[in-house]
Structure 1
Amino acid sequence: MNITTDVKTYFNFVNGAWEPSSTGESVESINPANKQEIVGYVQKSSKDDLDRAVVAANAAQSEWKNLSGAARGDFLYKAANILENRLDEIAETMTKEMGKTFPEAKGETARGVAILRYYAGEGMRKIGDVIPSTDSEALMFTSRTPLGVVGVITPWNFPVAIPVWKMAPALIYGNTVVLKPAGETGVTAAKVIECFAEAGFPDGVVNMVNGAGSVIGQGIIDHPDIHGITFTGSDVVGKQVGQGALARGAKYQLEMGGKNPVIVANDADLNLAVDATISGGLKSTGQKCTATSRVIVQSDVYDEFKERLLAKVKELKVGNGLEQETWMGPCASENQLNTILSYIEKGKTEGATLLYGGERVESEGMKNGFYVQPAVFEDVNSRMAIAQEEIFGPVLTLMKVDTVEEALQVANDSKFGLSASIFTTNVSHMLSFINDMDAGLVRINAESAGVELQAPFGGMKQSSSHSREQGQAAIEFFTSIKTVFVKG
């Protein structure tokens, strides 16, 4: 039976106030390291709750956009400082709510602070260009205008960084926002919004409504007064978001799945490649859209790479993310655990060889958690589901090739194109990889799962809607260009 003593209920944030949902219902958020522990309760909201948030955001938008960029930036700076002051508390909540280790959670929260400060500075940067006119007596230039109200739909795997990297640029460019966070990490999201509330944002500029995707998520897709939708999640749901937004003429931005390869050439630094493969594929329990899943190794070094990889994977400590010795925490939910286990069974059925792991961990003290040993397969080919479908878990698939050219063909044999990396000391191989790899993020001698906040981020093929997030590229989604012609 779940423990419920002294557990807080977190409300929606609408028009500058915390309020319960109109349904009067809430949903528990449980600790994946111990399903008997409730982290908190979040609202089970209705369409009426979303409507109130959108009305508030619409009412606030005109005054907000008319502030100077520097004034809007001041609010982001204040939110950054408050988030930084609460870093350990919010990171601990994240670990309790979705399972990633405490050091990873602290790193993610610190990244949220840095994102807020970066976009606060955007308020002082240019938003247009002067363009020569054919009329010598005229002035022609471009400016930027915000979309209006932006609906923000975020996943559970980065419950601080992803909401912040969507909300911060939306806000600095003059939009107001309605956030629908993942229910699994609704408590963490509420604590992030507390930082915005404490920073004193005007009423209605920042709003959060918790609830089911079928109700609140679909409501954002359909709402006529939401002018832009930014979404991160699965490709299946993302396509629904895009189709719905397109049908009513709303702007949309989708960041979806990945099946990210790493290529290990025969001239690679194998120790570096092994460490980066493990870090890129297994940290956060493999629950990253940029996580390494396909490991494509040249035959000359395949056996040595495999031996070194297995030796290090076997040393990894699986456990509660709040325990100092833990390297990999639990899966984020029981559904996620079951999905991962089903893919591991499917890999066996398809004829892949399970070299290590893949079992649920139910040792003493871990029976109530959603733990799985990281899995390593070999004898994998591109026709198998475990080589094509996003597992979103700690599963590495080894694939042997003879040449780097063949490795690139295998790497591109996927409907996804989010991130990819190669390990080589050969400049020709590097250039071929940069030119021929169909991915939005390509990295040389580094893990596939790294991205810096000041750089554009997004995928190719079915990994995204071909727009880019983060860095100065974010202005392209969150604003429209206005061309101005002035003649005295």
Structure 2
Amino acid sequence: MRTLETLCGGEWVTTGEWIDVHDPADVRAPIARIPALGAKDVTRAYDHAERGFARWKRTSPFERSRILTEAAALIRARLDEIAADVTAENGKTLAEARGETGKAADFLDYYAGLARQGYGTLLHDARPDTRTHTQREPIGVILVISPWNDPLITPARKLAPLLAAGNAAVFKPATDTPLSGLHFARALHDAGLPDGVLNVVTGRTSEIEQALLDDPRIAGITFTGSNSVGNRIRRRLADRNVRFQGELGGKNASAVLADADLPAAAKAVTAAAFGQAGQRCTATSRVVVERPVYEEFTRLLVAEVEALTTGPGSDPATTLCPLSSPRQRDMVLADLARAVEQGATVLTGGSADTEGQRAHGCYVRPTVLADVSPESAIWREEVFGPVLAVRAVDDFAAAVEAVNDSAFGLAAAVFTRDLGRAYRFVDEAECGQVAVNTTTTGWDVHLPFGGFRDSGTAYKEQGEEVLRFSTRVKTVAVHFGG
């Protein structure tokens, strides 16, 4: 078992208190341990961040860009080592982990480029002999709270733009999956990031929550996770001038129309629903199918799902990984039991998988459910596991209505050969991300990302849009006449 340190004030530190990290493929013994920081350590992290910000905001954007570019190169050079740890702590397949590691480097490269670009706009002024412009400035110290399901790419998505803009960060990785975030921090540290600009707080949230969330130096909080936690943070900030960016839940739907390429749709829906064992915020968890092709599509879908190979993420043959923890496995199994109680029919899967080498892991068989009522919990609530519910609908209008009948609005897809209906779906789907004839997952670094309704706040992630969260606008008028 490895013992790791965490980064605070430019130094790698420990505390003498530890948290064990487990591999969800076999939870019998820990694979690593990390420092369990206390409230005083968190306050020191903010002390370092305050000093780091004072230096970093004055650092040339070209120097910021150089550091982010070098960090990206270090991540690519260490790709095998980092991907192995992503798989070990989270469970996802090596192919998924390698893709995540490469994408983390892409985020650094993309925002390194943006750091070198213009940062304001020249505006006309009604006053004579006056030139007016706006300029964007960093907002200060930002708290980054990342989830366990994408332990490397989510920190990269959040940290790269805020660092490029000149902010400092206190970063809290998920307690179950901290190794990936520590790799990201090490790459930035080794690339020359000044002391205190990035500080990593590893610890039990229940013990450090007050110090983490209530420090008066926080200018913004960016959080990815559940609605219950996100809303609790939002309420906690209600009377403070602190920005909040939340990427929250989803109950993403795909609509398969009667004219669709059904085999292609079945493959795409399977990939979107069961990649990372369904533990993606953009995973497809609901499918509505026009009634004339419902039976044929369902047959093709079940065949695709039953062809998945369940196993450890470290096994190259695995196409369906374990869930990330015993807690998550048990929650998914409870959701499945409730779905059956509420009338759902299990077409395939529906239970834990404890065969052979999977006996000591967090495995749930990939599951397809039919006869699902639109009022049932499995249709309306986020499960975050390898579970897909399928319903028949009468026509296009009913398909759109079913997709939109949700408290969430993150991602949706439609499968059709009719370009007119495709664009109608794009216009009518109440989601932040809409796909046509492809998966609900897989949005690239330069594409604005975020949901509507209960899926998130108004601040988008990715692309240039994210800079609206981590920068403020100053308007400057210069009179040059006599």
| 2:150 paired residue number | 158
> Is 1:123 aligned to residue 109 of structure 2?
no
Aligned to 1:37: 29
Aligned equivalents of 1:408 and 1:221: distance in 2?
Answer: 40
Mapping for residues 20-419 of structure 1, pairs under 5 Å: 20-21=14-15, 24-419=16-411
Q: Which amino acid aligns with 2:110?
A: Y
Helix, strand or coil for the counterpart of 2:441?
Answer: coil
Counterpart CA distance in 2 for 1:271 and 1:29 is 40
Instruction: Tell me the residue number matched to 1:15.
Output: 9
CA distance in 1, matches of 2:211, 2:429: 37
> Which moved further from structure 2: 123-132 or 239-248?
239-248
* CA displacement, residues 230-258 of structure 1 (integer Å, 9 cap, x when unaligned): 00000110111212223221111000010
Deviation at 1:364, TM superposition (A): 1.4
Amino acid at match of 1:11: E
- 2: CA distance, partners of 1:171 / 1:215: 27
Deviation for aligned residue 1:192: 1.9
Supply the distance in 2 between the matched residues of 1:207 and 1:27 (Cα, whole angstroms). 18
How far apart in 2 are the matches of 1:16 and 1:450?
A: 34
**Percent identity among equivalent residues?**
37
Letter in 2 for 1:149: V
Return the alpha-carbon distance in structure 2 between the equivalents of residues 312 and 60 of structure 1. Answer: 51
Indicate whether 1:420 and 2:412 are aligned: yes
2: CA distance, partners of 1:79 / 1:245: 33
Alignment gaps of 5+ in structure 2: none
Mapped partners of 1:242, 1:334: distance in 2: 29
Q: TM-score scaled by structure 1?
A: 0.97
Instruction: Spell out, residue by residue over 1:41-70, the C-alpha distance to the aligned partner (whole angstroms, 9 max, x if none).
Output: 012211111111110010111221111211
- For the residue of structure 2 that corresponds to 1:248, the secondary structure is coil
Which stretch shows the higher mean deviation, 195-204 or 329-338? 195-204
Q: Corresponding residue for 1:435?
A: 427
Task: Give the match's secondary structure for 1:227.
Answer: strand
Letter in 2 for 1:202: P
Ranges in structure 1 where 5+ consecutive residues have no aligned partner: 1-6
Q: Does the alignment pair 1:463 with 2:455?
A: yes
In the alignment, what sits opposite 1:4?
Answer: none
What secondary structure sits across from 1:202 in the alignment?
coil
Taking a change above 3 Å as real, the CA distance of residues 231 and 218 of structure 1, as seen in their structure-2 partners, is farther
Which 10-residue stretch deviates more, 470-479 or 39-48? 39-48
- 8 Å Cα contact 1:180/1:217 also seen in 2: no
SS at match of 1:105: helix
Query: Residues of 1 paired with 2:137 and 2:250: CA distance?
Result: 32
Cα drift, residue 225 of structure 1: 0.6
Provide the alpha-carbon RMSD of the alignment.
1.0
Q: CA deviation at 1:217?
A: 4.5
- SS of 1:467's equivalent in the other structure is coil
Q: CA deviation at 1:218?
A: 4.3
Cα distance between partner residues in 2 of 1:298 and 1:218: 50
Partner SS for 1:136: coil
Report the Cα offset of residue 375 of structure 1: 0.7
The DSSP-based 3-state class of the residue aligned with 1:282 is helix
Alignment coverage as a number of residue pairs: 480
Distance 1:101 1:463 in 2: 27
Q: Deviations over 1:81-137 (max 9, x none)?
A: 111111111101111111000000000000001110000001111111011111021
TM-fit CA distance, 1:431: 1.6
Instruction: Look up the equivalent residue of 2:202 and give its one-letter code.
Output: N
Task: Provide the TM-score with structure 2 as the length reference.
Answer: 0.98
Partner Cα distance (2:67, 2:207) in 1: 31
Q: Residue type of the partner of 1:449?
A: T
Question: Which one-letter code corresponds to 1:335 in the other structure?
Answer: R
Q: Given residue 200 of structure 2, which amino acid in structure 1 is its aligned partner?
A: M
For 2:477 and 2:238, the matched residues in 1 are separated by: 30
Cα distance in structure 2, aligned partners of 1:216 and 1:304: 53
Tell me how far 1:213 sits from its aligned partner: 2.2
